[in-house]
Amino acid sequence: MRRNIKLEVPVFNIHPLRITEGWIVRYNNFREIDPKKLETEDDRWFMFTESLLQLYHEKSSITLDLGWYPDISSDGNYLVLIVKNTDWDNPIDEFNSDDYTKVIDFIEFHLKEITSNWWK
């Protein structure tokens, strides 16, 4: 017999981002949780995965991808990759940090730069 179990999982908002025109949000699981404030055994580490955010700029064929590496680990960092034509082995740019504010600044700067310069 199968039983349903209801978990008490807190709801966290998604980080607000300034996404410039022309970008498609493929997925967004980038939650407002500061990894620096989590204890090693905190269950919220399950929200820190390799698939946090992916944006695609169709006119330039550029993908911006954000994940947490290693997956679900308190020893990890955010990793932002910017790739063209799905060439994941040769990113245009990359950035890693455990500071979500620096990650947001990096993402927003590059979204604006790509929108205004790279595809023209």
Q: What count of Cα atoms within 13 Å lies in the side-chain half-sphere of residue 39? A: 3
Q: Report pTM.
A: 0.88
42-59 pLDDT, tens digit each: 889 999 999 999 999 999
Q: What is the DSSP letter of 109?
A: H
- In this prediction, residue 11 has a pLDDT band, given cuts at 50, 70 and 90, of confident
**Residues 89, 82 contacting (CB under 8 angstroms):** no
Average pLDDT over residues 37-44: 91
DSSP 42-64: -GGGGG--S-SEEEEETTTTEEE
The answer on pLDDT for 7 being more than 60 is: no
The answer on pLDDT for 84 being more than 70 is: yes
SS3 label, residue 19: coil
